[in-house]
Structure 1
Amino acid sequence: MIQSKRQGSWQEFLIQQEWAGQTLEMLFKEIWGAPKKLTHLFRMEKRVLVNHILANWNEPLNKGDRVSVNFFGDLEDKVEPSYMDVDVLYEDDHIIVVNKPADLDTHPNEPEQTNTLLNGVAYHLQVTGQVTWVRHIHRLDRDTTGAILFAKHPLVAAILDKMLEQRQIKRTYIALVQGMIKSKKGTIHAPIGRDRHHATRRRVSPTGQDAITHYQLIEAFRTKDMSLVKCWLETGRTHQIRVHFSHLGHPLLGDTLYGGNATVNRQALHAAKLEFTHPLTKEAISCTAPVQDHPVIFPDFDFTKI
């Protein structure tokens, strides 16, 4: 893990042995995986210092050097803060992971909408004295709960976007599905496209986008004719888990859009765990999101089994 600390608009990194010998060019492009356009911007705007003087981007760094990067200067507030208590699972100077409740949009779907989790995170940043530039890296459906990752500045957002695309951010879900899942584990590989007969529904379609869901049976409840499964995604299609399990003949409890019964008040889907390598410090991050439904939807469950 790389040591770093915030100093106003700047973030200072103490160069350890694993980064010694690398140039700033290599640090941004190869170690951090920063986009060329943003790397060029930091270089041209002189937003990087080494040992408090203007950096030479092609000079090797030495162990003990202090690299200061202006991540936070001149950031405009892009999201209107709205009062909300957010359940923070992890936070540092660059990223924040929060536990999303049900009945809440991840982000505004219309310009005037402000009652979303994104607005709530902006409020959290505001009241804790931070720059309120924030952007979601992925999303959850309105009635899906659990861990969501947000970025606090454009560079880390761009790196995380690339990590998500390259499947370097692992998202593990738990779901209650109808019926008895026969296989202890399996993979659903079925393309997903829009349902032309319904504005919001998706369906398995030969002409849809490639979609892969892996799953593992946690426990079967025969008396209630339902199964608790954990699943993780290789792709991130809209409603992917809901569509795939409905396609298998095991729709999620409460998911009436895809054939589930209405025995619970929402689709029984929860983003229980988020795992990734920190894009800048390279620390291993693992966040577990407890279920918070009232009344309870999921049975008592030991999250260490995920």
Structure 2
Amino acid sequence: MVIQTISLVIQDPPDMNLQDFLKADMLVPKKLLHEMRMSKKVTVNDDHPLWTKPLQSGDRITLPIFPERVEPQATAMPVDVLAEDEHLLIVNKKAGVDTHPSSETDHLSLSNGVAYYFQQTNIQAKVRHTHRLDKDTSGCILFAKHAMSGAILDKLLAERKIKRTYLALVEGIMKTKQGTIEKSIGKDRHHAQRRRISPSGQRAVTHFKVIKEFSSENLTLVELHLDTGRTHQIRVHLSSIGHPLFGDTLYGAKNKYHRHSLHAWKLAVPHPFNDSTITAEAPLPKDFGPAKLSLT
């Protein structure tokens, strides 16, 4: 799915000129906006526009998509595509894989695999992940296919319009079956990789609901929604109420396992260029928890 231009029709006059509209409404970055102007490829109603002229209802704007160098380095690996169109891509990440390269010599991240997918499907774009997942967290990750899509998706995420649903297997039987954890999170001065509850940290809000209990194993399956996206937010919040993720020894789990049991289950993304919503669901992987549990 490769596109070279984006066409938009102005429905309600935005009371601004073309340049201000692209900056304010379309979130075109300054460098890209300059490139568009210099290219002479932007048109309004199929004509070269006067950039300072106010836009009118019914105006049709056509914007170029510039080819980019595909980066990071492409690595041939399977990529499990859950949803896709010309502007975005949703991929199911396996546990044990980094979202992006951890160093200059790391070429085995999901982003390296998506770069290969871009090459194979003739998408000439930098790999842009809108959000990320911890290495041992599996599930849905959203990528943009070009710079304009990336800018808009970043804003939608910041405005909490992209809805993410997680599943977690936690230690202990949760007495409270549904609720909200609102505790600020900051860095742990004594451990570079850890985060901790901190009154001076960033505001963090997690909503949870118990889905299933496993009394004999002393484990609970929980559904979670986030109002914020802090580093290790779910892991820190659940640990703070005495229910660390199964296998998450960094945050106090008693059970050792090759991964922590957190999965980005569902993703609902408002489309960056129309009124539709793109949805995806990543099935629970077989290694999500102990093999003897029936999680469905």
The interval holding the TM-score normalised by the smaller chain is 0.7 to 0.9
**One-letter amino acid of the counterpart of residue 40, structure 2:** K
Give the equivalent residue in structure 1 for 2:160.
167
Alignment of 1:1-306 (within 5 A): 7=3, 10-13=4-7, 15=9, 19=11, 21=13, 24-25=18-19, 28-29=22-23, 31-35=25-29, 38-39=32-33, 41-57=35-51, 58=53, 60=55, 63=58, 67-73=61-67, 75-262=68-255, 264-294=257-287, 297=290, 299-301=294-296
Under a length normalisation based on structure 2, what TM-score does the superposition of the two structures give?
A: 0.88
Distance 1:273 1:259 in 2: 27
CA contact (8 A) 1:20 1:60 kept: no
Distance 1:29 1:126 in 2: 30
Distance 1:21 1:122 in 2: 39
Distance 1:216 1:35 in 2: 39
Compare 236-245 and 275-284 and name the one that shifted more.
Answer: 275-284
CA contact (8 A) 1:123 1:132 kept: no
Q: How far 1:233 sits from its partner (Å)?
A: 1.2
Q: How far 1:112 sits from its partner (Å)?
A: 2.1
Q: Which runs of 5 or more structure 1 residues have no equivalent in the other structure?
A: 302-306
Identity of aligned residues (%): 46
Q: Which runs of 5 or more structure 2 residues have no equivalent in the other structure?
A: none
Tell me the secondary structure at the aligned position of residue 7 of structure 2. Answer: strand
Change (3 A) 1:286 1:295: closer
Q: How far 1:72 sits from its partner (Å)?
A: 2.5
Tell me the secondary structure at the aligned position of residue 203 of structure 1. Answer: strand
Q: How far 1:41 sits from its partner (Å)?
A: 4.5
Distance 1:70 1:158 in 2: 15
Q: How far 1:201 sits from its partner (Å)?
A: 1.3
Q: How far 1:212 sits from its partner (Å)?
A: 1.2
CA contact (8 A) 2:138 2:264 kept: yes
Q: How far 1:14 sits from its partner (Å)?
A: 6.0
Count, aligned residues? 291
Compare 93-102 and 275-284 and name the one that shifted more.
Answer: 275-284
Tell me the secondary structure at the aligned position of residue 230 of structure 2. Answer: coil
